[in-house]
């Protein structure tokens, strides 16, 4: 099996958001997956995460992610950033930290922190 990369993982998120194709992300996320927003102390299950990704562009039609950068890709953790563009807001940057399962096949937790780009 090929080692998970940050770019592959975030591309799977984008594929759900942009194309409504959840097959790859659903395969990547473990059954006990948890998504955490560090700043807001929010948390979601795999089902809640998939629902958000499928519906975010209905709530915010201009929502887009891009400009992916991998910062660290280890056996147990992926770290990277991506941009977010959405209607009538300045572009922001998101720091993502993904925990990888012991067998290296799934993401068990995805934490993120979103902020304005430094001036």
- Kindly state whether residue 49 falls inside one of the protein's structural domains: yes
pLDDT score of 1: 53
pLDDT in tens, 21-74: 999 999 999 999 999 988 777 789 999 999 999 998 888 888 999 999 999 999
Note the pTM of the prediction, 2 decimals. Answer: 0.89
CATH code at 64?
3.10.450.50
pLDDT in tens, 6-18: 999 999 999 999 9
pLDDT band at 77 (very low <50, low <70, confident <90, very high): very high
Higher pLDDT, 116 or 29: 29
Residue span of the structural domain in which 86 resides: 6-116
Nearest to 6 by CA among 92, 83, 69: 69
Cβ–Cβ under 8 Å, residues 80 and 6: yes
pLDDT score of 62: 87
Tally of domains in the chain: 1
């Amino acid at each position: 099996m090929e080692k998970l990369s940050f770019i592959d993982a975030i591309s799977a998120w984008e594929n759900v958001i942009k194309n409504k194709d959840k097959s790859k992300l659903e395969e990547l996320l473990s059954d006990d997956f948890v998504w955490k927003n560090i700043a807001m102390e929010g948390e979601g299950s795999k089902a809640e995460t998939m629902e958000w990704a499928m519906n975010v562009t209905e709530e915010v039609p201009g929502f887009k992610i891009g400009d992916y950068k991998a910062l660290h890709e280890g056996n147990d953790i992926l770290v990277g950033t991506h941009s977010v563009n959405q209607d009538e807001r300045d572009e922001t940057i998101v720091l993502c930290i993904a925990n990888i399962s012991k067998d290296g096949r799934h993401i068990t937790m995805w934490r993120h922190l979103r902020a304005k780009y430094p001036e």
